[in-house]
Amino acid sequence: MEVQSNHPAGGINPASTVRTEARRTKEPTEQVNFAQSAAVEQALQKTPEIRTEAVDRAKALVGSINYPPPETIRRLSNLLAMHLPVE
């Protein structure tokens, strides 16, 4: 069987110079309103560093023998088993 190429197998073409146009910077078309970011900043300042209700819930969950639920553990183990490499 004979394979014929559509392209000639000649030498390497010399490197061509590609002229790139300098990037133009555009002026912003609209002004940015930072009023909402100030409101977010104020809400963040009012948020307590430690949320005691979340800490209390976490302590209760850690102390529970039923956390995570057995169904969750079973599903996670099945998911992990499905992704084990086959040898």
In a domain, residue 15? The reply is no
pLDDT of 81 strictly over 90: yes
C-alpha 61/C-alpha 55 separation (Å) is 10
CB 43 within 8 A of CB 49: no
pLDDT level of residue 48 (50, 70, 90 thresholds): confident
Question: Do the domain assignments include residue 61?
Answer: yes
What is the mean predicted confidence (pLDDT) over 51-69?
Answer: 92
13 in a domain, yes or no? no
The residue segments making up the domain with residue 62 are 51-87
Report angle CA 47, 51, 55 to the nearest 5 degrees: 165
- The answer to whether position 87 is within a domain reads yes
Check residue 73 and give its pLDDT: 93
What is the count of structural domains for the chain? 1
Q: Domain for residue 22, yes or no?
A: no
